[in-house]
Amino acid sequence: MRLHEIDRGDSFKSRLLIRFISMVSGMWLPDAARVAFYHKEFFSAPMGTWTQAAMRGPSSWSIGERELMAAMVAKWNSCPFCIGAHGAVAAKTIERSLVDAVLTDFRSASISEALKGTLAFLEIMTLRPMELSATHAQAALRSGATIAALRDAAAVAAVFNIITRYANALDFAMPSVSEFDRAASMLLKRGYAS
């Protein structure tokens, strides 16, 4: 369900800022960014801080790998907007063909065994959380992931299990491939904190 207040902003200042950013960037400000202006103190500021920590904080995972994890969580949650957005950001640091291969079938893609094992863990965490157990964590660790890396990946999945659901619930508009690419460049440079 599209909410008019998110499209235009919930305050005069937000409306001006949304218009200004859209004008300067030459494109419709993506809905994910518009949500960041909606009741900022209640939701978007804390969520932005958490997302920034998970996606850009210290980690053994690269930014591209974490963006790829976000895109996979989006795939498992059937969120086309987030698949496009985070796949585009991942493709800024990882070859696009590899990003596409992972999104098609991470188990057969040419990625590290640690990343494959971690994605297998995140898949269960996302699709069947009640089944997630120490056995799944141990399998990820055997694949080469460290405890810290698995914790970081779980933080990415937790954040994007929330984000993909509100993106779907709010019916985020689908940008074009070129708009995703431009937004990905900005997101890669700016990060997630609002």
Q: Please enumerate in sequence order all residues whose Cβ is within 8 A of that of 111, keeping only pairs 6 or more positions apart, or say none.
A: 98, 102
Global confidence as pTM: 0.84
Q: Please enumerate in sequence order all residues whose Cβ is within 8 A of that of 93, keeping only pairs 6 or more positions apart, or say none.
A: 62, 63, 64, 67, 188
Contact 192, 86 (CB under 8 A): no
**CATH of 4-190 among 1.20.1290.10, 3.40.50.150, 1.10.468.10, 2.120.10.30:** 1.20.1290.10
Kindly give the interhelix angle for 80-90 and 63-76, rounded to the nearest 10 degrees: 160
Could you tell me which of 85, 88, 107 has the C-alpha nearest to residue 99?
88
Token output for 152: 């970081």
pLDDT of the chain, 194 residues: tens digit per residue: 555 655 566 667 766 766 666 677 676 666 666 666 666 665 677 888 899 999 999 999 999 999 999 999 999 999 999 999 999 999 999 999 999 999 999 999 999 999 999 999 999 999 999 999 999 999 999 999 999 999 999 999 999 999 999 888 888 888 889 988 988 988 888 888 75
Kindly give the interhelix angle for 147-169 and 113-127, rounded to the nearest 10 degrees: 50
